[in-house]
Each structure stands twice: as C-alpha cells, then as structure tokens.
C-alpha cells in the first residue's frame, strides 16, 4: 500500500536521475549537444514533481491514519478518490483492492 502511494514520487525521481545522466553522458556528443540546454531543466522539474507527489501521498496517509479520510469497511485501509462508474460512484481500497459504493 505504501509502495503504491509513493510510486509516482519514485517514478519522478527516476526520471530526474535519467535526465541528469543523459546530460552528463551525452552532453559532449555533437549531435545531441543542441538539446542539452533544454534537457538540463527537466531534472529540477522532475524533482519538484517528486516533492509535490510525495507530500500529497504523505498527507493522504496521515489523514487516513488520524481518521479524517474515509476507510474501507472490510479491512480499514484508505480509500482512493471518487470514481464514476456505470453502476454508480465508488471508491477503491488502496490496501485490499475492494470497491465501496457511495450513496451520495
């Protein structure tokens, strides 16, 4: 559950590292040298995205732990955002994967 919560932040960190490696390894290649000024701004953007998504995940887990967020009726795990489906609105449990219908 925690791995799934922080997966977007981890993906952004990996993308930042890949961009940093790209600029350091291919910065001297004459054909790719023209792209380096543009690619050098991607790591800070990806690091900012990782920070923001990590903070959002932390706040969501904190709210669930303190009882401010909706919980799964079966396992007590945190529920995802509201999804609109053909059978009505529902939330998916991030721990067990079960679906919970919403009456409102």
Residues linked to residue 88 through DSSP beta bridges, in sequence order: 85
Q: Identify the pLDDT of residue 87.
A: 83
Residues linked to residue 83 through DSSP beta bridges, in sequence order: 90
Residues 90/99, Cβ–Cβ less than 8 Å: yes
Task: Categorize the per-residue pLDDT at 86 as very low, low, confident or very high, splitting at 50, 70 and 90.
Answer: confident
Closest CA to 12 of 38, 42, 39: 42
DSSP state string for 28-79: T-TTTGGGHHHHTTHHHHHHHHHHHHHHHHHHHHHHHHHT-S-B-TTT-PBB
User: Is the pTM value of this prediction over 0.85?
Assistant: no
Q: Identify the pLDDT of residue 81.
A: 81
- What is the per-residue pLDDT across 4-59, written as a single tens digit (0 to 9) for each? 889 999 999 999 999 888 888 876 777 777 777 787 889 999 999 999 999 999 99
């Amino acid at each position: 559950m925690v791995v799934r919560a922080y997966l977007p932040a981890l993906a952004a960190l990996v993308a930042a590292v890949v961009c940093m490696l790209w600029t350091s390894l291919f910065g001297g290649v004459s054909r790719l040298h023209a792209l380096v000024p543009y690619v050098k701004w991607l790591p800070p953007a990806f690091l900012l995205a990782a920070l923001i998504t990590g903070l959002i995940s932390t706040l969501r887990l904190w709210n669930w732990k303190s009882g401010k967020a909706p919980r799964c009726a079966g396992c007590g795990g945190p529920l995802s955002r509201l999804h609109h489906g053909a059978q009505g609105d529902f939330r998916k449990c991030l721990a067990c994967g079960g679906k919970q219908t919403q009456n409102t």
